[in-house]
Amino acid sequence: MFSLIVQVRRLIHDNGTTTVWSDEELQDWLDAHRIEVIRAPLQYARTVVGGQVVIRDYATELSNWEGDATLTDADGNTLAPETANLVVGRWSFTAHQQPPVHLTGRSYDVYAAAADALEARAAQFALAYDFTADGASYHRSQQAQALLALAKQYRRRSRPRVARMVRDDVSAQG
């Protein structure tokens, strides 16, 4: 989780000597955009080595996995990949690994969490006012606008959300 929090801090520019948000607050926003996966089959890539088809590389479409993500084989035995890139969701083995390989773990949407943090920060500046003193103009309200503009960019990069809608005004027996 630490590496995910660091990633969100970088996105929101909250990595100075004094931070705006605590690790717990950032983790709460990450948890709000968490997907839990249980024994999801991974995609694999075939390569040919010496005339033999070998499968060593596995991947998922989801990214930003927590460090305790677990891979298992068809019998439920835990597998130990040689490399794991949790940011992009890719695992590699030194030798052929017969599919299916399943993944259990938690994936996080760091862009959605960063957008939440930026919107909360903008709310802190919502009541900021502009003023003029000694012939100089101070526009404190620009801070909120800039934070919301960056949050909007991150919302565009975040995962799409799917909602199931049920109409109760239509008969199911049609």
Same domain, 28 and 114: yes
Question: What is the average pLDDT across 48-74?
Answer: 93
In a domain, 119, yes or no: yes
Same domain, 63 and 149: no
In a domain, 57, yes or no: yes
Report the number of distinct structural domains present in the chain. Answer: 2
Q: How far is CA 80 from CA 55, 72, 91, 122, 154, in A?
A: 15, 9, 9, 44, 34
Q: Which domain holds residue 46?
A: 34-108
Percent of the chain with pLDDT over 90: 70
* Distance, first Cα to last Cα, the chain: 49
Same domain, 8 and 73: no
In a domain, 115, yes or no: yes
Same domain, 86 and 40: yes
Same domain, 41 and 88: yes
Same domain, 56 and 92: yes
Same domain, 49 and 114: no
In a domain, 162, yes or no: no
Same domain, 52 and 88: yes
Same domain, 93 and 51: yes
- Domain boundary among the residues 86, 108, 130 is at 108
Same domain, 99 and 140: no
Same domain, 6 and 59: no
Q: What are the pLDDT digits (tens) for 66-123?
A: 999 999 999 999 999 999 999 999 999 999 999 999 999 999 999 999 999 999 999 9
Q: How far is CA 172 from CA 142, 165, 168, 169, in A?
A: 52, 14, 9, 10
Give the pLDDT confidence score for residue 172 in this predicted structure: 62
Tally of CA atoms within 13 A in the half-sphere of 170 that contains its CB: 5
Same domain, 63 and 89: yes
pLDDT at 136 over 90: no
pLDDT band at 141; cut points 50, 70, 90: confident
